[in-house]
Structure 1
Amino acid sequence: MKVIKFFNASMMPALFLAVLMVGCDNSTDADIDPDAPEVFSTIPMNNQEDVERNMVLEIVFDEAMDAATMNNSTITLQQGSTTINGSVDYSGTTATFTPENVFAAQTDYTATISTGAKSSSGVALSNDYEWSFTTGGNSEQLEAVELGTAGNYVVLAESAITNNPTSAFTGDLGISPMAESFMTGFSQTAETGYSTSDQVTGRIYAADMVDPTPSNLTTAVENMATAYDDAAGRTAPDFVELYTGEIGGKTLTPGLYKWSNTVLITDDVTFSGDENAVWILQIAENVTMSSDVSITLTGGAQAQNIFWQVAGEATIGTTSHFEGIILSMTGITLNTGASLNGRILAQTAAIFDANTVVAPQ
């Protein structure tokens, strides 16, 4: 042990400070700026599950940031080792990341904000900020809605079927519990247990016709209500409030969709999927299609696998073309010259005006 020979009390403070400095590494603390911005909250939250597949990521900072540092270099998203493309926007204290495509179902994602992100005063984040989440939705094929004997009709309604000639229907029409007199504009010809019309390639059935038509219609109407409840009751939606209900000009992939408002179709819409793909669209209010727009199916998608569950009214615009099976609680109206490939299943009335309606094959 070495002894300091020339020691006096005046040397104590300096020696004590030297020992402290040798024994402590303050480099980490020195690197942390007390003025560094922090992430206040994120949407989705860290480790959140069942995240909607159309989720827009939101990052809220505890102070205003330099907008020039809010970009795809500082805010990134990955699925495993794959980088997810998207656009970054910033306003106030909030940055958003909007994915270029919808997320895959039942999949883990990791988001990162790097230290390249700086506050408005130029101070960077102290460390990279990282969080993860898992999407919900259906990783397996969505099951189609079972229509039962309601699927025997191209049009089935409970209170009225009103037609302004001349329309063309391919498939059977049915009304129950109301009588045939509540079906107008067809110039029916009575047969035993059904009627015919020059506007219908098929048969017309009503609750006041001879047996077994009334009981068959009762079963079909019950099946229609069951199908509506099935579609409305599906859980774990893939997409929630997609495009805030304005789907005009969009391409919809297979899955379960849910809206709490009216869905608007102001431009052409494409349903893209193979022949087994299924779409169920849960709509809490109305669906309104503008005039002169069309729904197109690509990749083998079939109208019989597209189910529009509409709690309000479904209205198809003049000369527009619609695809799919409409299950409506309130009513269905096709305006002049509109066409539909699918089925119209209305728990109230269906109204037509020189339309073409064809049951899916």
Structure 2
Amino acid sequence: MRKKNLLVTLAIAIVTLITSCAKDDFQEALGVCPIVTATNPLDGATSVPLNKIITVTFNEEMNPETIDLTSFTIVGASTIAGTISYSGTTATFTPDFNLTPNTTYVGKVTTAVKDLNGNALQQDYIWTFTTGSTLQPRVIATNPTNDETNVVLNKVLSASFNMPMNPLTINTTTFTLKQGVTPISGAVTYFGNTAFFTPNVNLSANMVYTATITTGAENTAGTPINIDYTWSFTTGTIIAPRVISTSPTPNENGVLLNKVVTATFDMTMNPLTIPASFTLKQGTNTINGNVTYLGTTASFTPNSPLLENTVYTASISTTAKNVAGVALANDYVWNFTTLNNSIAPNLGTAAMFGAFGGNAGVTNQGLNTVINNGSISTTAASTLVTGFHDATAIYTETPLNKGFVTGAIYTAPPAPGTATSFAIATQGLADANAAYLSISPASMPGGTDPGAGELGGLTLTPGIYKSASGSFNISNGNLTLDAQGDPNAVWVFQTASGLTVGIAGPTGAKSVNLINGALAKNVFWYVGSAATINAAGGGVMVGTIIANSGVTFSTAGNAAQTVLNGRALSLIASVTMVNTTVNVP
């Protein structure tokens, strides 16, 4: 009996020793005493990001009620404010504000922290770290979320950052998706502060996928995320509806102020779910409007005209469901910019010229050339204007080359050029050059190339159009400009090299047609080298052409009348006309 009692007493003593967790190496070896096993940042870490979230990991599950802002502190110049959370064996301290650059902080977890048995840390745990000088980007949200299940098979993944990123670093190298070790191909885009990965084909059902944002992703200052960000999710068996097209298209410029915004789905939707899901905002301001649904297309009609030259954001939320009750997998968000009527350049004194020949002159070859409602000019000597006369003087006309200018002719001396007319010409050239720069791609970025350099056969709404190849042609048919009822609609065409209108042959002339209120005065052509307008003669060209190195209309010997409703302004080379009518708007 005494032996049995001795064993019981010994057992009680051992249990008491284990559960009491006295400060003893034996207790820690048994894993009974709670201890800190890891911190992030590490003790002595340097260049810690200013937006760092601080964690402490224990060797066992702790009592969350004992972990608070008094038992878990971060001190720099003073104790910093933040919030505490706890999960598994890890306590997390999230500062209310970014940490201070180049500052050493002291982290402390006190003996007030206890495990679930009431055992406390045996001594305060203290460590230090030092911040760097830059704010580091990080992923703050993903869709799907980590460990999400039943993810739809046509899911578009997204990862949102805490700051703007460099779009060039958000690509298929830095945003990847794998099923096991097998890479999934897809397209990566970036909008706002969010990166999107769109798989090329639907995902497989009931499979685990892993997505990663690598440290190759950098913010606009070139600072990368600290470590690769990885999360996983599991697919289900459902294919969700999705938006397959919109009008305006994403990032479209020059959108009309009375635009009805539409989104088209890839399947029939439940009409009752559409109105609440379709919103339009300008910044944080919600635009009031009416939402309708017909076929597979939802339409948002604003109650009042949109603002000029303003970015709007349209959204179809996951409130939208198909007829089977399946919702969109993600909010579909896109933006567009309304027409900027002020993009029309200020031509200054150059506006009065139907033709300006830089410092090289203006030449007419024909008997039927006329400049209506305008003048012509060059900063060259008067002798470099040939084949023209105005109401007061004749500039080297011949029996076969006579052109009439209803306004006046401005050149440098000798007579009929004067110092006064030279001054007017000089100012005109300066104003033409300023207008040229104001409609350049550098001043007006974002132009699109809807026909891969070929404008013939197209109908274009107002906006900025830039040739990707460096030249624009109108050869496959006429170009039509549709103002859609807006008399202030503006078009700017940008080409780094040449502009060629028409093709060879007697029927090769091509024209620019204006419809629904479009006006010639609102059409502008930025030409990096030279423009050739209907070399075979004939056709109607529209707009103010500002070319660096010359403009030529028709070819000597052509009798067909070529028309320009606009202006031909050349900065360093001549303007040549053959039986050309210029109607200055």
Q: State the TM-score bracket (shorter-chain normalisation).
A: 0.5 to 0.7
Letter in 1 for 2:368: S
SS of 1:145 mapped into structure 2: coil
Greater RCO, CA 8 A, separation 6+ = 1
> Within 5 Å, which residues of 2 pair with 1:177-196?
178-186=380-388, 188=389, 191=392
| Greater helix share, structure number | 1
Cα deviation, 1:68-99, whole Å, max 9, x if unaligned, reads xxxx96553468996434999xxxxxxxxxx9
The residue number in structure 2 matching 1:228 is 436
Q: Structure 1 CA distance, aligned partners of 2:265 and 2:453?
A: 21
Q: Structure 2 CA distance, aligned partners of 1:268 and 1:154?
A: 23
The residue number in structure 2 matching 1:335 is 554
Q: Relative to structure 1, is the Cα distance of residues 254 and 168 closer, same or farther in structure 2, using a 3 angstrom cutoff? A: same
**Residue of 463, 472, 483 corresponding to 1:263:** 472
The residue number in structure 2 matching 1:84 is 263
Q: Structure 1 CA distance, aligned partners of 2:265 and 2:151?
A: 31
- Unaligned 5+ residue runs, structure 2? 1-146, 157-184, 205-239, 249-259, 268-296, 298-305, 323-327, 503-507
The residue number in structure 2 matching 1:283 is 495
The residue number in structure 1 matching 2:24 is none
> Within 5 Å, which residues of 2 pair with 1:3-82?
41-42=186-187, 44-47=189-192, 60-61=198-199, 75-77=243-245
Identity %: 24
**Residue of 366, 371, 374 corresponding to 1:165:** 366
Do 1:156 and 1:346's aligned partners in 2 also have CA atoms closer than 8 Å? Answer: yes
SS of 1:150 mapped into structure 2: helix
RMSD of Structure 2 on Structure 1 (CA): 4.1
SS of 1:244 mapped into structure 2: coil
Letter in 1 for 2:574: A
- Unaligned 5+ residue runs, structure 1? 1-27, 50-57, 67-71, 89-98, 117-126
Q: Relative to structure 1, is the Cα distance of residues 74 and 152 closer, same or farther in structure 2, using a 3 angstrom cutoff? A: closer
The residue number in structure 2 matching 1:321 is 540
Structure with greater Cα Rg: 2
The residue number in structure 1 matching 2:133 is none
SS of 1:304 mapped into structure 2: helix
Do 2:353 and 2:567's aligned partners in 1 also have CA atoms closer than 8 Å? Answer: yes
SS of 2:433 mapped into structure 1: helix
Q: Structure 2 CA distance, aligned partners of 1:255 and 1:268?
A: 18
Report how many residues are paired.
292
The residue number in structure 1 matching 2:568 is 344
Letter in 1 for 2:467: W
Letter in 1 for 2:488: N
Q: Structure 2 CA distance, aligned partners of 1:44 and 1:207?
A: 56
Q: Structure 1 CA distance, aligned partners of 2:527 and 2:463?
A: 16
Cα deviation, 1:124-157, whole Å, max 9, x if unaligned, reads xxx835542323x445433421111111211111
The residue number in structure 1 matching 2:228 is none
Do 2:487 and 2:519's aligned partners in 1 also have CA atoms closer than 8 Å? Answer: yes
TM-score when scaled to structure 2? 0.43
Q: Relative to structure 1, is the Cα distance of residues 199 and 289 closer, same or farther in structure 2, using a 3 angstrom cutoff? A: same
Q: Relative to structure 1, is the Cα distance of residues 352 and 73 closer, same or farther in structure 2, using a 3 angstrom cutoff? A: farther
The residue number in structure 2 matching 1:357 is 582
Do 2:385 and 2:396's aligned partners in 1 also have CA atoms closer than 8 Å? Answer: no
Do 2:454 and 2:473's aligned partners in 1 also have CA atoms closer than 8 Å? Answer: yes
Q: Relative to structure 1, is the Cα distance of residues 328 and 32 closer, same or farther in structure 2, using a 3 angstrom cutoff? A: closer
Q: Structure 2 CA distance, aligned partners of 1:243 and 1:48?
A: 31
Q: CA deviation at 1:345?
A: 0.6
1:252 and 2:460 are equivalent in the alignment:
yes
